[in-house]
Structure formats: structure tokens, C-alpha cells
Amino acid sequence: MVVPHKTQCYGDSTDPPEEAIPMCTLRNFPNQIEHCIEWGRDKFNELFVDTPGDLTSYLDNPQLFVSQLKANSTSAGAVTSLGRMLEFIEMKNDNSFDKCVAMARDQFNSYYDYQIRDLLSVFPVDHKDKAGQPFWSGPKRAPSPITFDLSNPTHLNFVVCYANLIAVALGIPENRDAKAVASISEKVPIKPYEPKKVEVEEGKENESKALTPDDEVLIERFLARIQKVSAEIKKEQIMPAEFEKDDDSNLHIDFIDACSNLRATNYQIKNCDRNKTKMIAGKIIPAIATTTAMITGAVTAEIYKFAQGFDALEDYRNAFINLSLPLFLFSEPIPVNKIKSKDYDPISMCQTKSIPEGYTIYDKTLVDKGSLTFQEMFDFLEKEYNIEITLVSCG
């Protein structure tokens, strides 16, 4: 057990703040490939992270999950989440890769064909706004539905990636053979198109909301069905994905690439290659080669010193470099700040006692006594270090 003397939290992200993209643009009116990739990344989280995660939370504690879902979601959002969970549970019970392919095919039609038709039913290509101007103009591109075509590599790749990612999440044996997946795809029954009444506001948000029956009734029906069909499933059998851009074998980037390029095709946006998808979906910031080389050289020089056994602080150097000026400044690192007792600490607004005197943020007190209760740990610290514990925090 490790008891830190002092905890300081620093932001560890090197990503600069991004300009917010309105949700209406991502959902219905993309006009750049970046919008499509962000949409694909969101679908990845929705399908392979959030839904399996919700399912494991439900299996762990159904009552707590339901209460939190109702408290933190709209009724429509709760219905959507429970509907996806039910689909996953039924597929897990079937334990069939063919069902994963069938879901992938249905999802393809939903994303790239049926939802586009629904949107065009509200805003036809020749639709005029309130001012009498063409609605589909400027940044708004009129979409067109896509019909699934097994001979199209992107279409097939979407199904292969989708089916296998679902299989991984549910512990179903995978099948990455594109020909085998194509053969299965030809045989699975496909849900026909059923027009939906969709209301889309032309105001600020332009967000679409499907008109559904009483959501509360649907929620209770879903919960009853989920409780019935999930009896044999253990939470350990469900594996939510953890997005990893650099593992080419996990199909994460492949899915987002197919997902985003198909949406780009819907909106007549030029497709991009996999590397660009990886860069944007993984939020990789391109570095200037000269700067990278300069930093690498400066750091490597310090690593040589460490490898050769130099242990004096003054043997090492901090570097401040500005290549545009150019300016190169090297300085000795300052010693780490030691925390000492004070008669009056302006932050705590009282006298403080440092135990041990002069510790740093890198120091730890190791309590190597096996499994202890909190009270046993408190007693040990008071006996050995004369410390009275008044607060324990986690996270």
C-alpha cells in the first residue's frame, strides 16, 4: 500500500483545444471529410465502447444501472440504449457470427441508405428555406442514399470490421475472411426500408428527433425483456473496446475509415486514405521534422549521461530552443522542491508539519503489511510516523 505525501494533478494532454463542430453538422449536414471522421469515431464509441459498457454495468448491478440511466438520460436516450443492449444480449445468446454479419448489414442500410432517405423526405433536394432560398446550398450538401454492393471494397470492409468488432465485444469467434463474410452477407435476411417520421428543426441546432410512442412504456418493456434474456450472461463475457489507433490488427481504424468514407460518399465529399483517418481519429498532431529532430537530439544527449552513470544534478542540462530566432539556451536543472514545516502556510492558512521533514512530490511511504483495514493502517502510521490521518482520498 502506498500513501503519497502530496498529490499534484497536471494536464497530460498535448492536444490543442479544438474548434467545436456543431452537432447538427456532424449528424445531418457534414461538408468536410473531418466531419465524417468525427462522426465515424463517435459511432465506434457508441457501438463498441458505450453499449458493451452499459451491458456490463447492467449485469453487475441492474437496479443501480436503471436508476442512473433514467437520471442521466432523456427518455428517448434511455430507449435507444436499452434497445442496443437487448440486441447485444440476443446476439450473445445466439453466439453466431452470422448474426454479427446480419447486424452489420442492417446497420449499413440504416446509416447510408434508410436514414438518408428519411432526411431527404424532410428536406428534398429542391427544398426552400423560410426566406425562399435553396436549403441545400453553401456548406449544406444534399446527400444521396447508397445501396449496398458486395463488389465495392469499402462496403464489404465496413461489414467485415463491424461484424468482427461486435464478435470481439461479445466473445463470439471471429471470421476476418472477406470472402467468407461476403458469402454470409449474401444469405442473411435484410430488414426492408420503413419510412420514419422525422422532425428536423431549421433553427440553430437542426438536430433530428424521431417521433416515437410513449418512451416510458417502451423502457419498461425493454427492461422486462432484458431481465428475461440476460439470466445466463456474465459480465466477464462482455468486453467493451478500448480505442487504440496504433494496433493495426484490432480493426479500430479500419472501421472508422470505412464508416467515414461511406458517409463522405453520401454527401459527395472526397474520400481520404487510411492514414488521414488515423491521424484525425487518433488526434495525431503532425510535428515539424526539424523540431522533432532537435528535441530528440537534446534528450538523447542527456540519456547518454544517465547511461554512463553521471549522478550529479549539475551534470545535466535543460534546453530552451527556438529555431525561428534562432535561440539555444541550456541551463542546469533546479533541485526538486522540498516540502518543509511552516509556522504559517498561506494556502492552508495555518501551521503545517512536514512528515518526514523535506519530502518531495516524488517521495512515497510504503506500508508493506499485507491486507489492512483503514483503521489498522491508521494505527500503523500513528505508531511508526506519529501521523494522525484525517482524510483519505481516491482518484
Q: Does 350 participate in catalysis according to the annotation?
A: no
- Nearest Cα neighbor of 338 from 320, 364, 358, 367 is 358
* C-alpha torsion sign, points 264, 269, 271, 276: negative
Three-state DSSP class for residue 35? helix
For residue 50, what are the contacts with CB-CB under 8 A and spacing of at least 6? 81, 240
> Partners of 330 in the beta sheet?
319
User: Which one from 9, 24, 100, 259 is the annotated catalytic residue?
Assistant: 24
CA distance 43 to 50: 10
CA distance 292 to 202: 47
For residue 148, what are the contacts with CB-CB under 8 A and spacing of at least 6? 105, 108, 109, 113, 155
The residue type of 12 is: D
The residue type of 196 is: K
Q: For residue 371, with 0-12 CB atoms within 10 Å meaning exposed, 13-18 middle and 19 or more buried, which class applies?
A: exposed
Which residues are catalytic, by number?
Answer: 24
